[in-house]
Each structure stands twice: as C-alpha cells, then as structure tokens.
Amino acid sequence: MAAPVLHRRRPAPSLAPYVSAIVGYDEQGVGIAGVREAASLDVPLVVCLSGDFRIALDRPPGPADRIASFAAGLHPGFVTMESDGAAACVQLTFTPLGARLALGLPMDALASRLVTLDALPRTDLAERLADFRTWPDRLAFAEAWATRRIAAGLVDQDPEARAATAAYHLLRRSHGAPRVAALADRLGWSRKRLARRFRIEFGLGPKALARIHRFRRARGLAAASPPDWADIAAACGYADQPHLVREFQALGGCTPTAWATGRA
C-alpha cells in the first residue's frame, strides 16, 4: 500500500528565527482521519498542488470545513484535520516573527482562522510553484520566496515592531513566565498598548502567548517517563495540577494522561 511521503528541506541558518520547517507532503492515496494538533507557535502557509483538507478548530471537521491552499494563524486551542488521500502540498512553517514579516499583514487577521491564499495580499507563491515539477525545486523556490519576503519585511519594520519583538523573545526564553505588566514596564508602554501591538505582530496578546509557551514547556517536561504532573504544574507556573489538566484539555484537546500515553 502507498503511504504519504514527506520531502524536507532544511531552512538556511539565516532563516532560523523566522522559518521552522519547509516540507513537501504527498499523500499518495492515504488520507488522515481525526488527526489532532495541539496549540503551537507555528504559522503554516500551505500550497496545495492537488487535493485538499478538512480542518476545524476545537472540534471535529465536517464537509463544510474543506480547504486547500491557506495560511493559519496562532490559535489558543487545538486543531483537527482529515483528508481523502489526494493531497499534495508544500508547507512553509513560519515562527510568529517570520509570518508577520513574510505575509505583510497584521497577524490578528489570521488569529484562530484559516485564510485562503487568494485572500492574502501579494501572495503569489501558489502560481509560482506551479512552474516546478520536482519536490527539490519546489522546496528550493519556497525557501527563496520566504527569504525575499522576510528581508523586505525587515527593511519595513518600524521601531515599535522591533520593541514588541524583543518583548516576545523574552517571553519565549522564559517559557511564558513574565507577567504582562512586567513586559509593558520593560518597554515603557501601557498594558493596553502592549496587547494591541502583540496582536498586530503575532496574532495573540501576551497573555495568550504566555499560555501556549507554558503549555509547550509542560509537554516537554512530560516527555520524562512517568511524568510527575504535580511537579510539572509547579515548574510551569500553574496554580495546581487541576489547572494544568484544564489547560491540556483547552489547548490540546485531551487530558495530560491521554497525551502522555498516546491515547489522545
């Protein structure tokens, strides 16, 4: 039986802060059913060369959730996907920083949404990829396209965007530990101004981003076997273990135990 094939291209080191993966995906007749992805800090840009997907936020997808080429912003919840086995696509996976630079639009326009490529400004990637016949050529062009877009975005970036980016890096390095007031004070901004700028640059406010960072850290610590959930909750800044359980259910769609045992 055929199986989906992944074609990978390692992004250039200069793209590391902006692009986390460049992948070609070819289902070859084998679809997916009920695949769930937990809240992440990835912003995928997907160009379907054939086929499509059914994708929904925080619930199973239905027939009306069919979509082909799209971009998806950050979402403080889980995503469920299905397909019929005909999908072949190129995916550029951006970091929150890279997506804003490459796509050139306020990221709150994508937050908790899937937006078709034809609704995005100046995104000609689908048309250009149609000119290539091999996966290495497609992925090389996708990388070159992202490199050009990010370079142009950096030139146009204003001082307030750069300040928000510095605050985001602090949030990332500390796994979501700083309070919003502390981040705002560090920049000399009000909390309202910080939240507004974070939504423009990254799609979500600092509080929602901190939730996802803490959740990601909790999952990383839970890789130990067997995980001590009470210790993990304390290490990640949750009030108690029930708080951690609620976050796993909200952001991952399952309990911590189901996630750790692969029953999700």
- What confidence score (pLDDT) does residue 103 get? 94
- What confidence score (pLDDT) does residue 151 get? 97
Q: Give the integer Cα–Cα distance in Å for 172 and 154.
A: 20
Virtual torsion, Cα 117, 140, 108, 181, nearest 10 deg: 170
- What confidence score (pLDDT) does residue 110 get? 97
Distance in angstroms between the alpha carbons of the first and the last residue of the chain: 26
- What confidence score (pLDDT) does residue 171 get? 93
Domains, the chain, in order of start with CATH, read 5-155 (2.60.120), 159-260 (1.10.10.60)
Q: Dmax of the chain from CA atoms?
A: 60
* pLDDT tens per residue, range 19-60: 999 999 999 999 999 899 999 999 999 999 999 999 999 999
Collect the ranges in the chain with pLDDT lower than 70.
1-2, 263-264
Q: Give the integer Cα–Cα distance in Å for 20 and 37.
A: 16
Whole-model pTM: value is: 0.93
* pLDDT tens per residue, range 16-30: 999 999 999 999 999
| Cβ-based neighbour number of residue 3 at 10 Å | 9
